[in-house]
């Protein structure tokens, strides 16, 4: 059996286009629920902004890097972990927060702000930590990614739909609210469909290698949730805000991670398997946690 670092998930150009369009549509649906007031409300609560940014874009990538130094996973799995940690919060975090009886308004505002920051922070964190760790640095050198190409794709998938969605919300509010209610729940279905499409011709690879990422993926996700919750608790936020920050940090946009992996790394085995497993698992862990919190006073 080949080493996971040598395996590639076959994904043709048509499938890649479908993935691009699906993620852009999902992001557009999320943006339909975002207004300028969401950004303004965060500016009135600088502590929440700083903690949200600190948790998602500073501490999670840093702690992921430190964990990699300790456990030393296969280089392609390590790079996949870095990719997931560099991505912004997932678009289902608002639904999870609402189910958990968290601060839904804060969740929406943090999602909006994180999506905007991710245009710059996702490429920056991925390149920074990927090049700091020698085994993953070798992969990056072999692939030779142009940072501008990475930024350009993130802008197209996150930035453009965000601007268009918010512009439509401003001009056609009632239509936007209706569309948002339809598109948001579909985001879970879309992600699962993305994974099915990606692995439909490669099920043997997923079955043969998924055991390499089970403990790592579950542990990494649990670490992200505890990080958000612990940071919020440390700074004495309300329990509603603690739940919100935990979900915002623990639910990552691994769909974006998969797109970047297929676009720039030709579906490199360890990266694709960890990102796909992470994306499925965080839906399970998020729903279980949100259901538990929904019953807890």
Please state the domain extents for the chain: 4-294
Mean pLDDT, 10 residues at a time, the chain of 297 residues: 60 65 77 76 79 93 96 92 90 82 82 83 92 92 76 82 86 85 72 67 70 89 96 93 93 84 81 85 90 83
Quote the pLDDT of residue 255.
Answer: 79
Half-sphere exposure of 296 (CA within 13 A, CB side): 11
Quote the pLDDT of residue 136.
Answer: 92
Quote the pLDDT of residue 1.
Answer: 39
The packing angle between helices 269-294 and 254-264, to 10°, is 170
Quote the pLDDT of residue 186.
Answer: 72
Looking at the domain 4-294, which fold is it? Na+/H+ antiporter like fold (1.20.1530)
CA distance linking residue 102 with residue 129, whole number of Å: 32
What are the residues facing 268 on neighbouring strands? 8
């Amino acid at each position: 059996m080949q080493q996971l670092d040598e395996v590639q998930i076959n994904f043709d150009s048509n499938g890649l286009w479908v993935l691009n369009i699906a993620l852009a549509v999902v992001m557009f649906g999320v943006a339909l629920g975002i207004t300028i007031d969401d950004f303004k409300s965060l500016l009135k609560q600088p502590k929440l902004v700083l903690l949200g940014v600190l948790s998602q874009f500073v501490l999670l990538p840093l702690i992921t890097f430190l964990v990699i130094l300790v456990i030393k996973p296969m280089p392609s799995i390590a790079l996949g972990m870095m990719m997931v940690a560099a991505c912004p919060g997932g678009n289902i975090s608002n639904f999870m927060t609402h189910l958990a009886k968290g601060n839904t308004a804060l969740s929406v505002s943090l999602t909006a702000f994180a999506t905007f920051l991710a245009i710059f922070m996702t490429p920056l964190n991925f390149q920074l930590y990927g090049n700091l760790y020698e085994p993953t640095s070798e992969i990056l050198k072999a692939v030779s990614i142009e940072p501008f190409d990475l930024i350009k794709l993130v802008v197209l998938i996150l930035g453009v739909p965000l601007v268009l969605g918010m512009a439509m919300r401003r001009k056609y509010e009632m239509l936007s609210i209706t569309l948002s209610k339809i598109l948001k729940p579909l985001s879970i279905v879309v992600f699962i469909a993305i994974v099915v499409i990606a692995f439909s011709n490669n099920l043997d690879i997923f079955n043969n290698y998924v055991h390499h990422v089970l403990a790592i993926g579950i542990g990494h996700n649990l670490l992200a949730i505890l990080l958000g919750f612990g940071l919020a608790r440390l700074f004495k936020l309300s329990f509603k805000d603690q739940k919100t920050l935990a979900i915002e940090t623990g639910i990552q946009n691994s769909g974006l991670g998969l797109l970047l992996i297929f676009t720039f790394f030709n579906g490199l085995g360890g990266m694709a398997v960890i990102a796909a497993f992470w994306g499925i698992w965080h839906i399970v862990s998020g729903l279980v946690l949100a259901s538990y919190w929904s019953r807890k006073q």
